[in-house]
Amino acid sequence: MEFLTPSHAWWAALAVPVIVVYFLKLKRPRLTVPSLVLWARVMQDQRVNSPFQRFRRHLLLLLQLLLLLALVLAATQPVSRGDVAGSGHLPVLIDVSASMAASDSTGRSRLDEAKEQVAALIDGLAGDRQIALVAVGARARRLTGFTDNARVLHAALDALAVDETGADLGAALRLAQAMARSAAVSDVILYSDGNVSLDRALELPFSVDYRLVGPAAANIGITAVRARRALDGDWEVLVVVRAVGAVGSGTVRVVQHGRALGSQNLTLDNGDNRRLLFRLPAAALGMVSIELRSDGIDSLASDNLAYLTLPKARALRVQLGESMEAWRRALQAHQELDLVRADVAADLAIVHSADVTPAPVTVSVGSIPKAVADMLDRRDAGTGVVDWNHASPLLRHAGLGEVLFARSVLFAPGMDEASLEGRGWRIAVHGENGPLALEQRRGETVHYAWLIDLDFSTLPYRVAFPVMVANAVQEARTRAGLGEVAAVRTGVVTAGDLPAGSSVAVRGPGVELDALPVDAEGRLGGIAASRVGLYQLSGDGFERELGVALLDEFETSLLRNEELQLGTTAATASGDDNPGDWPWWRPLAALALGLLLVEWWWYQRPAGGWR
């Protein structure tokens, strides 16, 4: 136990005047009795028999001293410290991801449980402690600054609602790191079900007290929705449904304009990941919704609905640079593909210059991007491919192991792969002495940069080359929504194919935004769509719908992680013990009030009242 204001103990000196005044002012009512003989005997007998008579004789004084003691103790603010040591500033991170909406049989969600615990923490806030509330969703939101104002904290806590997104714990910890720079933070409390993602390891200057909330729950939900055109032009819609816990059966329906285009029943066991394929006619263009109805326990409602926008079919627009015959021949093998001029917006651009990205997917050949030109040096010495990023969409299934290059690229002195990553570039293909190809993803665009002209390599003569071109075409088709269409997930989303330069108003669940500018490429980014549903995009002469769904396998799984790996350290879920402080001033004040009432009652009680 600690005393936050021990200096207030000086108030105990008031006991002296209390005692003095008591004895000075002690005015007993005089009562004339026939004789004191009996009373004298009684008093003598009673003093002998009762060693506590001195206390009983001055019960009022005793009560007054106890009252003063209780008040003085309350004034010194004794506090029983909780599990979180130290004092000062305490960021409290609250997971508000979709899985926190999972409810138990009583309808109480994980977030409700977390809010109750945080409310108890706020109520037990010691005078020397300040709390800042941070919501952990797809992005981290600071709900309050550091404050000990319980009303402000409770108001922020009450307004907290579940975001139907995943949880980016890394962003929240980085925010806490930033807060720690301006205030002394030794501990951070995280209330979560453990269903969070951490993109990279962090060096944390504080310890994380991880409070696991919510019981395990059963759930069934849609985790992925994709569509692609079949060879006959129809749409093949792939729906992935995942079940956890004892679930049962359910139905998945594909609905467009209120009409069911397809329906499938399914029965799932714990851990099942069922893939359902719906075949829709080629004419089924526009928005379709995929609805899941569970006949069993379903703890999460937000993952039962998904949207998919089926675009009109058109040829892929490809911009190809001059003197790129090998690329041209490879492209000729693909159907529904138009080679367009440089002034036409393309879906895929294959160019010489590494400093222009005229399309969502750009492949530059033979030049080093200016952004990293100071890090790399080109040499005439030959080299081979040492390794490549097999997960890169451009290089999937492309065997580059025997490809030789007549020229090579070296790192400038003091530069390495980490230096490139610091400028947003990753190495796609490693040569013997340095990178041969780089990859940069920025927003909705991707740029693959071959640093050496492929005419000085054996790649055009290898099978890997048409495979690589096919990968580029496929990625461009996907990004253009021509080949494979994926449903949009909650979070920060981007809408394309909007009138370039126009302004758009967005209306949707919890979102009301006006006059958002569309960029020159017809894209509107930065729409914070944290709720599942339809978002209306309207502008001058046009109106679009954007369907957003959860589609997060982790959130649907309602995974409860007992341990979170935070860089070099791990945070283990702690028990039900109270992390907050327990101030004693309230019970002491209540005790003082009780003593006051007892004293008043004792003093005012009627004669003979005991009998």
Partner 1 sequence: MADTAQLSSVLGNEVIARIERLRLAGSNRFTDRTRGDRITGRGGSSIEFADYRDYQHGDDIRGVDWNIFARLGKPYLKLYRQEQERHVTILIDTSASMGFGTKLHRARQFAAACAIMGLIGGERVSIYLAGHEPRQVQRLGPVRGRPSLRRVLAFLEDVSSGGAVAIDQAVDAMLARHHGRGLCVVLSDFLTEHDPKRLSGALFAAGLETWAVQILDPIELDPSIEGDQRLVDSETGAHLDVSGAGGLLGLYQEHLASISDELATACKGRGGRAMQLSAGEDFTTQLFDRWRRAGWVR
- Which residues contact partner 1 by CB under 8 A? 26, 28-43, 45-46, 56-60, 602-603, 605-611
Q: Which is nearer to partner 1, 181 or 611 (CB)?
A: 611
Closest distance to partner 1 from the beta carbon of 25 (Å): 12
Count of residues in the chain: 611
Q: Cβ-count burial of 260 within 10 angstroms (0-12 exposed, 13-18 middle, 19+ buried)?
A: exposed
Q: Which is nearer to partner 1, 65 or 84 (CB)?
A: 65
Cβ 286 vs Cβ 294: under 8 Å:
no
Cβ 569 vs Cβ 210: under 8 Å:
no
Cβ 129 vs Cβ 91: under 8 Å:
no
50: number of CA atoms within 13 Å, CB side? 12
Cβ 250 vs Cβ 292: under 8 Å:
yes
Q: Which is nearer to partner 1, 29 or 575 (CB)?
A: 29
Helix orientation angle between 59-75 and 585-604, rounded to the nearest 10 degrees: 160
Under DSSP, the state recorded for 315 is: P
Q: Which is nearer to partner 1, 34 or 541 (CB)?
A: 34
Closest distance to partner 1 from the beta carbon of 33 (Å): 5
Which residues are within 8 A (CB) of 19 and not within 5 positions of it... i.e. 6 or more apart? 61, 65
Phi, psi of 56 (to 5 degrees): -70, -30
Q: Which is nearer to partner 1, 32 or 105 (CB)?
A: 32
Q: How far apart are CA 446 and CA 394, in angstroms?
A: 10
Q: How far apart are CA 535 and CA 538, in angstroms?
A: 10
Q: Which is nearer to partner 1, 23 or 461 (CB)?
A: 23
Closest CA to 372 of 394, 398, 354, 358: 354
Q: How far apart are CA 301 and CA 112, in angstroms?
A: 16
Cβ 377 vs Cβ 415: under 8 Å:
no
Closest distance to partner 1 from the beta carbon of 189 (Å): 53
Which residues are within 8 A (CB) of 54 and not within 5 positions of it... i.e. 6 or more apart? none
Closest distance to partner 1 from the beta carbon of 17 (Å): 20
For the chain, report the end-to-end CA distance as a whole number of angstroms. 43
Closest distance to partner 1 from the beta carbon of 578 (Å): 43
Q: Which is nearer to partner 1, 40 or 590 (CB)?
A: 40
Which residues are within 8 A (CB) of 584 and not within 5 positions of it... i.e. 6 or more apart? 1, 73, 74, 77, 78, 79, 80
Closest distance to partner 1 from the beta carbon of 61 (Å): 10
Tell me how far apart the 2 most distant CA atoms of the chain are, in Å: 134
Please name the residue that has the structure tokens 């930033």.
178
Q: How far apart are CA 354 and CA 345, in angstroms?
A: 18
Closest distance to partner 1 from the beta carbon of 40 (Å): 6
Closest distance to partner 1 from the beta carbon of 609 (Å): 6
The SS3 call for residue 239 is: strand
Q: Which is nearer to partner 1, 275 or 611 (CB)?
A: 611
Q: Which is nearer to partner 1, 22 or 582 (CB)?
A: 22
Closest distance to partner 1 from the beta carbon of 57 (Å): 4
Cβ 447 vs Cβ 362: under 8 Å:
yes
Task: Name the pairing type of β-strands 305-310 and 273-280.
Answer: unpaired
Q: How far apart are CA 211 and CA 214, in angstroms?
A: 10
361 bridge partner residues: 348, 446
Q: Which is nearer to partner 1, 441 or 605 (CB)?
A: 605
Closest distance to partner 1 from the beta carbon of 593 (Å): 22
Under DSSP, the state recorded for 412 is: P
Give DSSP secondary structure letters for 458-520.
SGGGSTHHHHHHHHHHHHHHHHHTSSEEEPEESEEEEE-SPPTT-EEEEEETTEEEEEEEP-T
Q: How far apart are CA 341 and CA 319, in angstroms?
A: 6
Q: Which is nearer to partner 1, 45 or 444 (CB)?
A: 45
Q: Which is nearer to partner 1, 52 or 577 (CB)?
A: 52
Q: Which is nearer to partner 1, 59 or 277 (CB)?
A: 59
Closest distance to partner 1 from the beta carbon of 14 (Å): 23
310 bridge partner residues: 286
Closest distance to partner 1 from the beta carbon of 16 (Å): 22
Closest distance to partner 1 from the beta carbon of 598 (Å): 14
